[in-house]
Amino acid sequence: MATSYDMLPDDVVYHILLWLPVVSLLRFKSVCKAWCSLIGSSDFITQHLHLSNLRDNDKVIVLGPSQFDIRSEPCFSLNFLLLSGNNFQVSTTLDLPHRFDDRLSCHGDIISCNGIICQVHKFDSIVDPHDVSLWNPATKQFKLLPKSEVPLPQELGLVDLSYGFGFDILTNDYKVVRIISEGIGNTLKRRVEVYSLNMDSWRNIDVVLPVDINVVSDPKAPFRNGIYCWSGWDSFMENGLSINRNIILSFDFSKEVFGTMPVPDVCLNLQDCKLKLALLRENIACIEWVYHPPERENWNCKIWVLNEYGVKESWTKLYTIVLDSKAFPRLLSMNGMIIWIKNYQFTSESRLCLYNTITQELKSLPYDGTFPLYLQVANYKESLVSIESADCAIKRVSGAVNK
């Protein structure tokens, strides 16, 4: 007997499926072989992602340690929370598919791009500096990236690792870039590695950072049109004094070159203010706030947006927001929500808060986990994008053919 989907034209079925959420599409892959093939095709995944980016359905993903006790056994699970609007849409404990050899530190990092989460797993021990994984929460795919052929330095006290993650539109490839800084002062050496998902390997690239810049590894910084940005700082001499100033370091995933961009003039002096980068309605933005203001009860932050990419004069201040004392901005979402951590003086208590820049509404979020200061937060959109490397896919197909 013919079913309803047998009677619908193929192009109608295609467009109906494009508008469905990922969870429904994964379930519908079991309807028939034709739907399974269609939903898993690269063209469908690309079109679905494109439509998702056009819709205002941005979410915020929050990851944190499920437990943090230096006396406890190694922790291999995380609190996984998904914020949609003003409420947590999902709140659960995530068991990591990989069992790491060492105890995970609470100071991990996450970077989000096209529904894929790049996680930098840091450890309490100095035996192995970092592991990096890719994870699609919607499809449940998880991949631990291979080690680089060039071992990372072991003396963590003299090594700083800064990561970026994004998509190379020219080669249809997801890449992780890693800046490795070793030493201090005149002994400082840097090299840059890039991981390619298509090749499933790391390689050194022959590039020179444009200035003697100190990179601040800020994984919540924006990825826009193939460009990833870090906040950083460099030094210059003024009236015989060395002055540190904020600056933006960028990396083009297609050209694999670095560049710099200016920040608003009020953010130039690193000693006066702190700077976090974000994306606000597809434009690069920054959150500027004074870390220890003279009047502790009047903390505030300013939101700036860069209207024309790379043009300093196009920085525009959109909002000035008064925060409580001991309030630390963590993330500016794509639709203008600020997630921040409130610490209470003379106590170890802290809470997770949400501020709407449009309505100026402030509310506490129902976070039941511990240690909000150790939460990693990033903008997120669900997608069907696969984290299976091209090399692995070729081997899987070849194996199926040979059987």
Nearest Cα residue to 63 out of 41, 43, 83, 47 = 83
Residues 6+ apart with CB under 8 A from 101: 128
Dihedral sign from CA coordinates of 23, 24, 30, 34: negative
pLDDT in tens, the chain (403 residues): 445 556 778 888 888 899 998 989 999 998 888 889 999 998 999 999 988 877 766 788 777 665 544 444 555 566 677 777 666 666 666 666 655 555 555 556 788 899 998 988 765 555 456 788 898 988 888 888 998 888 776 665 567 788 899 999 999 999 999 988 877 666 778 889 999 999 999 999 998 777 666 776 666 667 777 889 888 877 777 777 777 778 888 999 999 999 888 888 776 555 556 778 888 877 888 888 776 655 655 567 888 999 988 888 999 998 888 776 666 777 777 777 888 777 655 445 667 778 888 787 877 776 655 555 667 788 888 899 999 854 444 333 333 333 3
β-bridge partners, 319: 303
Measure the CA–CA gap between 121 and 100, rounded to whole angstroms: 9
Nearest CA to 136 out of 288, 23, 216 is that of: 23
104 close to 76: Cβ distance less than 8 angstroms: yes
Give the separation between CA 106 and CA 108, rounded to whole angstroms: 6
The pTM of this model reads 0.84
Show the DSSP H helices in 161-254 as ranges. Answer: none
Residue with tokens 């000035």: 320
DSSP 7: H
**Short-list 146, 142, 193, CA closest to 165:** 193
Environment class of residue 83 by beta-carbon count within 10 Å: exposed (0-12), middle (13-18) or buried (19+)?
buried
